[in-house]
Chains A and B, each alone.
Chain A
Amino acid sequence: EAGVAQSPRYKIIEKRQSVAFWCNPISGHATLYWYQQILGQGPKLLIQFQNNGVVDDSQLPKDRFSAERLKGVDSTLKIQPAKLEDSAVYLCASSFLHSGEAFFGQGTRLTVV
């Protein structure tokens, strides 16, 4: 069974630029999550989708971050404009049920300079 796929693996951008991350969850998984992991911290939930609907985006900085999950499969997370404090690893995860075991991708390491 293929795992959660994310791209790119690494990205370096200047502050105020925009960036987008892509995630393809495990086939059949209805729930998709985006987490932000700052160095030395545990991951923090940014947004949770159930199929193509948003379940929780309470911690998403909506003035600069946006996410979509068209057709309830792939998802993209965008940052525009980026700030230095956005430097982190962005992790995508999926689960079959919203209460089930979560499986994570390899993450995208973003560096904002």
Chain B
Amino acid sequence: KQEVTQIPAALSVPEGENLVLNCSFTDSAIYNLQWFRQDPGKGLTSLLLIQSSQREQTSGRLNASLDKSSGRSTLYIAASQPGDSATYLCAVGGSQGNLIFGKGTKLSVKP
């Protein structure tokens, strides 16, 4: 049974700092991995999708990497801003498309 773990559960950093969020999964037979952002009381916003054949994806200040063999993904946020404050969720996708989520990392960026 696939399990997804995100470390740390919460993170507080000063504005401008570069940071890394970690995601690990127990079964390397994944189809893809997706990172989401969730603001309080809102739905999930897709940030990056990495297919199993890819090593990384970039969008603006965000870079996500995937190492299937070790069951790890990282989300790198460059030059963090207060507007980046949110909960970041990692989800691994199976061949059927169903996503299995971690519990998320709650990020707070202080001005």
Contacts and interface: CB of A to CB of B under 8 A. Distances in A.
Interface stretch (B13-21, B59-67, B73-81, B97-105): B97-105
How many residues of B sit at the interface, in one of the four size bands? Answer: 20 to 34
Nearest to B98: A45
A40 B104 CA distance: 8
Given A40-B103, A42-B91, A42-B104, A100 B97 contact: yes
A106 B34 contact: no
Contact of A45 (B36, B43, B99): B99
Given A91-B44, A107-B42, A44 B97 contact: no
A41 B103 contact: yes
Interface in B22-37: 31-32, 34, 36
B46 A102 contact: yes
Nearest to B6: A42
A103 B98 CA distance: 12
A75 B76 CA distance: 36
Interface in A85-113: 91, 93, 95, 97-107, 109
A100 B32 CA distance: 8
Contacts of A102: 34, 46, 91, 93, 97, 99
Interface string B68-111: 00000000000000000000010101011111111110000000
21 contacts: A33-B98, A35-B99, A41-B103, A42-B101, A42-B103, A45-B99, A45-B100, A48-B96, A48-B98, A91-B43, A91-B44, A99-B93, A99-B95, A99-B97, A102-B46, A102-B97, A102-B99, A103-B46, A104-B36, A104-B44, A109-B41
Interface of B: 4, 31-32, 34, 36, 41-46, 49, 89, 91, 93, 95-104
> A-B pairs with the 10 shortest C-beta distances?
A42-B101, A98-B97, A104-B44, A106-B43, A104-B43, A101-B49, A107-B43, A45-B98, A42-B103, A43-B101
